[in-house]
Amino acid sequence: MALIPCQVLRVAILLSYCSILCNYKAIEMPSHQTYGGSWKFLTFIDLVIQAVFFGICVLTDLSSLLTRGSGNQEQERQLKKLISLRDWMLAVLAFPVGILLSLHETCHQISPPPWYILVPGDTLGCSRPEAGLLLN
């Protein structure tokens, strides 16, 4: 069984991120009309960072395919700069923000914030039904 080449996988991921971005911007929400718009949400910021990162990955893959076999030192130098930009973006932006968002969402699923259980007996917004029963 042949594995999917990483270049094809990166293009697919980039296209999926771009389609999600387009659909997200098409949704009319009242919070998008207030100060900050969509940029005040960490999920939207992470989505943009990941889309830009995978765009740079696809650009790096295309550049390496086009410069393969040519002896041009300038193209090799530009490719090394692009690779270092990709590595920097992964280490500084894409990975830390993605992990922060994942941990934040996971912690909210495991232990919801206290304002979820402010209404006695209301367990609709709470992932732990026993927390709503404590206030009855």
For the chain, 136 residues long, give each residue's pLDDT as a single digit of tens. 456 688 888 888 888 888 888 887 767 777 777 787 778 888 888 989 999 999 999 899 888 888 877 778 888 888 899 999 999 999 999 999 999 988 888 887 777 666 555 555 545 544 445 544 444 4
Asked if 101 contacts 83 with a C-beta cutoff of 8 angstroms, the reply is no
**How far apart are alpha carbons 59 and 127 in whole angstroms?**
42
Structure tokens at 64: 């390496």
Q: What pLDDT was estimated at residue 89?
A: 93
**How far apart are alpha carbons 98 and 89 in whole angstroms?**
12
Q: What pLDDT was estimated at residue 24?
A: 75
Q: What pLDDT was estimated at residue 28?
A: 75
pTM higher than the cut 0.75: no
Hey, is 117 helix, strand or coil?
helix
End-to-end CA distance of the chain: 58
The secondary structure element, H or E, covering residue 52 is: helix 42-67
Q: What pLDDT was estimated at residue 74?
A: 86
